[in-house]
């Protein structure tokens, strides 16, 4: 028995062959450099705690990237409570258990058994008691078990990468939801300030009409501005509430009131759409802090080279793990064409008397090797190999698509980064020109040299320009979030 167990161990060491194809990472189906052109001009270094061009995005933790302390707290809550991320974590546990099942097949199984056999014949009853230690093992000469274990391992590692990709996406979604909330709060604030100023102008036009200085046309035109501003206030009030609900859903738990409470700081009415409507009634209003400018990057992120960036993105790595698992399954399918050798051994005792079961001279042992050689299976093994090869080709195509999609996402984010500063600059100039135009028309209206219509048109143009300025600033901050995500940041 001892000699048999030694032989079993020696054969186990020999079973290291694998018929799986030798894996080589496929060449990336993208160009070796990011796109060039007018849209991809280099953006200036972002203001903040400093710039680190030698630090890649995937090496920058999200806590170090986002400057807004409240946003960092919201992201932490989302990582702890988001249900989609929780499902991804549970999928890792499931894959880990599956890998444990496949890995266990590479080791001998050992079990203990005991029982009795009773037989009655010719008026007499005989009994046989036995107790055995059983060892069973399949020699993996052609790597079938090893290939299945490797496939399970790659699937397990792939679920880990999928969870990291899910986390990366969640961090970006929370940041963008936070940006949307802050931007809509600024829009609501602008609409509220405009409503107050328009109400002052409407009251002034009523007094002029009552005094016979103007016709009712100016009064009614002023009223249209009041009602339009009231409508915007209602719209953005509902939108802010919807933004808060969306943020709570992403977080997966109620948010503390301290995180949702808007922070307000006083400012003059010089930059408000309705400012200057009545020189005799200056308006002091409140403005949300410059959250959109400070919520995102604290450093400029270097894009790096595609081969390095794409190879480290979790979603691309997850696709490659799937490809590796499919490659290993081909080895298992090929091994099915070859003989499988199983070894079964047992050692124990047997006695006709239970009290004598473990006494000297009752020992027993058995050794039963077996070979299974496939001869005819109706083409099942060949079909199984065809399925495995097709799944490998599908996994390869999906891996290449993941690389191409990642390349496109980075290129789009870089194109946005290269043009947003110009967009912000032009939008700021548009707001300034609209303010000056409105002040001139308002002054001419106050002097009675023109009707209120021109002032109304210029005021609406200023209001639209300021709303567009908020959108441009939101786009700038969202681009910083997007660039961080597509370069592989947020998965730590």
CATH number at residue 465: 1.20.1600.10
Task: Determine, yes or no, domain membership for 4.
Answer: no
pTM for this prediction? 0.78
pLDDT in tens, 388-400: 999 999 999 999 9
Mean pLDDT of 223-227: 83
Task: Determine, yes or no, domain membership for 106.
Answer: no
Task: Determine, yes or no, domain membership for 3.
Answer: no
CB 128 within 8 A of CB 89: no
| DSSP label of 179 | H
Task: Determine, yes or no, domain membership for 327.
Answer: no
pLDDT in tens, 149-179: 899 999 999 999 989 999 999 999 999 999 9
What was the pLDDT predicted at 47? Answer: 35
What was the pLDDT predicted at 17? Answer: 65
User: Is 276 exposed, middle or buried (CB count within 10 Å of its CB: 0-12, 13-18, 19+)?
Assistant: buried
pLDDT in tens, 270-308: 343 343 333 333 333 334 445 566 655 556 677 778 878
Task: Determine, yes or no, domain membership for 10.
Answer: no
In this predicted model, which residue has the larger pLDDT, 231 or 203? 231
Task: Determine, yes or no, domain membership for 383.
Answer: no
263 confidence band (pLDDT: 50, 70, 90) = low
What was the pLDDT predicted at 242? Answer: 94
Is residue 92 predicted with pLDDT exceeding 90? no
Write out the residue range of the structural domain in which residue 264 sits: 174-302+419-486
SS3 label, residue 430:
helix
Residue carrying structure tokens 């009231």: 230
Task: Determine, yes or no, domain membership for 58.
Answer: no
d(CA 334, CA 321) in angstroms, rounded, equals 20
What was the pLDDT predicted at 42? Answer: 55
In this predicted model, which residue has the larger pLDDT, 104 or 30? 30
Domain count, the chain: 1
- CA-nearest of 428, 456, 462 to 441 is 456
- Considering the chain, what is the average pLDDT of its residues? 80
pLDDT in tens, 366-390: 888 888 888 888 889 899 999 999 9
Task: Determine, yes or no, domain membership for 438.
Answer: yes
Q: Which two tokens stand for residue 251?
A: 């977080």
Q: According to the 3-state scheme, what is the secondary structure of 343-396?
A: EEEEEEEEECCHHHCCCCCCEEEEEEEEEECCCCCCCHHHHHHHHHHHHHHHHH
């Amino acid at each position: 028995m001892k000699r048999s167990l030694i032989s079993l161990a020696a054969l186990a060491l020999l079973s290291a062959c694998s018929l799986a194809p030798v894996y080589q990472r496929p060449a990336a189906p993208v160009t070796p450099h990011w796109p060039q052109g007018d849209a991809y001009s280099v953006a200036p270094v972002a203001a903040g705690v400093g710039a680190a061009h030698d630090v890649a995005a995937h090496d920058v933790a999200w806590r170090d990237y986002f400057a807004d302390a409240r946003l960092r707290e919201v992201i932490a809550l989302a990582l702890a409570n988001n249900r989609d991320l929780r499902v991804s974590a549970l999928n890792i546990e499931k894959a880990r258990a599956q890998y444990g099942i496949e890995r266990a097949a590479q080791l001998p199984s050992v079990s203990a058994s005991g029982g009795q056999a009773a037989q009655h014949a010719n008026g007499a009853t005989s009994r046989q008691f036995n107790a055995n230690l059983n060892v069973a093992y399949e020699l993996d000469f052609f790597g079938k078990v090893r290939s299945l274990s490797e496939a399970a391992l790659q699937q397990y590692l792939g679920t880990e990468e999928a969870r990291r990709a899910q986390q990366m996406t969640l961090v970006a979604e929370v940041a963008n939801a936070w940006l949307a909330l802050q931007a809509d709060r600024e829009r609501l604030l602008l609409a509220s300030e405009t409503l107050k100023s328009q109400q002052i102008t409407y009251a002034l036009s009523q007094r002029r009409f009552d005094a016979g200085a103007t016709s009712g046309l100016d009064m009614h035109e002023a009223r249209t501005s009041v009602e339009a501003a009231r409508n915007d206030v209602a719209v953005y009030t509902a939108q802010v509430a919807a933004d808060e609900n969306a943020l709570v859903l992403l977080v997966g738990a109620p948010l503390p009131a301290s995180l949702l409470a808007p922070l307000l700081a006083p400012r003059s009415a010089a930059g408000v759409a309705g400012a200057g409507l009545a020189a005799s009634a200056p308006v002091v209003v409140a403005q949300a802090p410059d959250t959109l400018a400070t919520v995102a990057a604290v450093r400029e992120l270097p894009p790096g080279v595609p081969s390095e960036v794409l190879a480290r993105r979790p979603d691309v790595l997850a696709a490659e793990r799937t490809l590796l698992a499919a490659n290993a399954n081909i080895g298992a399918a090929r091994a099915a064409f070859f003989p499988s050798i199983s070894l079964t051994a047992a050692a124990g005792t047997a006695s006709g008397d239970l009290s004598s079961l473990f006494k000297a001279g009752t020992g027993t042992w058995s050794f039963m090797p077996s070979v299974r050689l496939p001869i005819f299976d109706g083409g099942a093994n060949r079909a199984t190999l065809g399925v495995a090869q097709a799944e490998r080709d599908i996994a390869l195509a999906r891996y290449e698509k993941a690389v191409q999609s990642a390349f496109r996402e980075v290129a789009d984010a870089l194109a946005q980064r290269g043009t947003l500063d110009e967009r912000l600059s032009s939008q700021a100039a548009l707001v300034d020109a609209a303010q000056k135009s409105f002040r001139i028309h308002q002054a001419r209206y106050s002097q009675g040299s023109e009707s209120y219509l021109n002032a109304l048109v210029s005021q609406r143009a200023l209001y639209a320009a300021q709303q567009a300025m908020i959108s441009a600033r939101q786009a700038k901050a969202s681009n910083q979030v997007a660039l961080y995500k597509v370069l592989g940041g947020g998965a730590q």
